[in-house]
Amino acid sequence: DGYQTVPVFFVRRIVEAIKKVGGVPFVTDNPTSVYNAAYRGYTQETCGCPIIPVAGIKDGYVTKKEIDIEGIESINAGGALLDADAIVNLVHAKGHGNCGYGGAFKNIALGGYSTSSRWNTIHGVVQRDSYFDESKMTKEHLEKLRAACPRDAPRWNEKEKKASLMFYNCDQCHGGKQLCVEADEGKTGWSINPANFDAFQELMAAAAKIILDSFDPAKIFHLNFLLDITPYCDCMGMSMPAVIDDIGIVGSKDIVAVDTATLDLIAKQGVNESVLKKIPEKYMRVNPDLSADLHPWQLIHGPLKDPYKVVKFGEARGMGSSKYKLIEVLSAEETATMEPPKHVYESGPSFY
């Protein structure tokens, strides 16, 4: 429910371009985003086409798809999305608490499925690899770990009487002393296990492949908007500082290439240090050494949230190539030498 999403200005232009070549476009997203779309400026009138929930009105219009990752056997793909003949993946490139980066893979992998698959199955995969001995964990002991963690990541579920780590919050103490592990004193074997972080990225790649395999490869397009690059995804529904300056828009028919190029461009741009330094620690802790040899998303979300993992899993599954060639369209140099448009102020209805 945030406002830092793909600007409707661009959505409208893409919709118009699709209509111009004879297409009948619609915009789709999860049910909540569709029902609240008008609050963020997306309406049929502004987009120029209908806005349809990805899995129908009650999130039940789905196709069960088989998958074999970490014991997960199936996930429910959104029926409205699968009804489309072509897909233009409009992506707000930004950070993500679980994996460092949310881009083209994340947009398809999480946006393409029903709510239960998205939240319980795909997000829930981080809990699959054991990282403590449940039989030795008590509520009191968990509270000790929680008190030690500045990110409030160890959690106790009173209903299920179970402990868990909220991977989204955990920044792995940025490679320093892991305060929760220290507080555990070996009692439950509590650990920060890299496999849990990787499982989410592998499942994202597999889930995105299922959706993309449903389309003719010639009818798949990805557009990553590297604008208003916030540290977390828009689901948080709050305004966030742009921690990386605007870069532009990256487009490709290859999902591996588009996300690799986006990550490389973000790495080249680097973090906006003056913005990062103003963010209170309660909200986000960043690596104390901003010159460390890590990607900007790792400096923000921790070294185990390697944003390139998802593209590597995708490339290994034959989804595309990380070897790309950037062709710059309308560079600053090019636009500086262009004939300026014959500008007419207030060319529409005007009262002066």
Give the CA count within 13 Å in the CB-facing half-sphere of 132. 25
Block residue for tokens 């009948």: 24
The sign of the CA dihedral 141, 147, 153, 158 is: positive
Q: Report d(CA 98, CA 307) in Å as an integer.
A: 10
Shortest Å distance, C-beta 146 to ligand SF4: 9
Shortest Å distance, C-beta 171 to ligand SF4: 5
Q: Could you give the string, one character per residue 152-191, with x where binding to ligand SF4 holds by CB under 6 A and - elsewhere?
A: -xx----------x----xxxx----xxx-----------
User: What stretches of the chain adopt beta strand conformation (E)?
Assistant: 27-29, 51-53, 62-69, 72-78, 87-92, 94-96, 100-102, 154-157, 162-165, 220-226, 248-252
Nearest by Cα to 102 from 72, 132, 123: 123
Between residue 77 and residue 106, which ones bind ligand SF4 under the rule CB under 6 A?
none
Complex with ligand SF4: residue 105 or 168, whichever CB lies closer: 168
Complex with ligand SF4: residue 192 or 244, whichever CB lies closer: 192
What angle, rounded to 10 degrees, do the helices at 104-111 and 255-269 form?
Answer: 130
Q: Could you give the string, one character per residue 191-210, with x where binding to ligand SF4 holds by CB under 6 A and - elsewhere?
A: -x------------------
Complex with ligand SF4: residue 148 or 290, whichever CB lies closer: 148
Shortest Å distance, C-beta 285 to ligand SF4: 8
Nearest by Cα to 79 from 211, 206, 253, 235: 211
Complex with ligand SF4: residue 39 or 283, whichever CB lies closer: 283
Nearest by Cα to 15 from 48, 41, 42: 48
Complex with ligand SF4: residue 50 or 150, whichever CB lies closer: 150
Shortest Å distance, C-beta 280 to ligand SF4: 16
Complex with ligand SF4: residue 280 or 340, whichever CB lies closer: 280
Between residue 124 and residue 153, which ones bind ligand SF4 under the rule CB under 6 A?
148-149, 151, 153
Q: In a 3-state reduction of DSSP, which class is residue 132?
A: coil
Complex with ligand SF4: residue 17 or 147, whichever CB lies closer: 147
Shortest Å distance, C-beta 123 to ligand SF4: 17
Q: Are 243 and 95 in contact (CB under 8 A)?
A: yes
Q: Report d(CA 198, CA 213) in Å as an integer.
A: 23
Shortest Å distance, C-beta 194 to ligand SF4: 12
Q: In a 3-state reduction of DSSP, which class is residue 228?
A: coil
Shortest Å distance, C-beta 24 to ligand SF4: 48
Residue 352, both tokens: 């002066």
The site for ligand SF4 (CB under 6 A) is made up of: 148-149, 151, 153-154, 165, 170-173, 178-180, 192
